[in-house]
Amino acid sequence: MERGLMMLLHALMIGIILYLVMVFGLGQAQEVAEDRSVLLGAVVLVYMILFGHGLPDTVNKNIF
């Protein structure tokens, strides 16, 4: 499983891409898109730290 810092960078990239899609693709207000993309990026980060990049079959051994 990758290190937590690499997962943080991946979640950051996903959040930025989601922000751009929401603002330019969906036409949402910048404030709304910012809050939503930060929330979704945080959820993605928690998921990746717990389960990695795959399906949730085992929990990260470094957590417990």
Q: Is the dihedral of CA 5, 6, 11, 14 positive or negative?
A: positive
pLDDT digits (tens, 9 = 90+) for 31-64: 999 999 999 999 999 999 999 888 888 888 888 7
pLDDT of residue 27: 98
DSSP string of the chain, one letter each residue: ---HHHHHHHHHHHHHHHHHIIIIIS---HHHHHHHHHHHHHHHHHHHHHHTTS-SSS--TTT-
Q: Is residue 58 part of a domain?
A: no
Q: Please check the confidence at residue 23 and state whether its pLDDT lies above 80.
A: yes
Q: Is residue 34 part of a domain?
A: yes
Q: Is residue 44 part of a domain?
A: yes
What's the total number of domains in the chain? Answer: 1
Contacts of 55 by beta carbon, 8 Å cutoff, 6+ apart: none
Q: Is residue 64 part of a domain?
A: no
Q: Tell me how far apart the alpha carbons of residues 30 and 33 are, in angstroms, rounded to a whole number.
A: 5
Q: Is residue 35 part of a domain?
A: yes
Q: Considering the entire predicted model, what is its pTM?
A: 0.86
Range of the domain at 11: 4-51
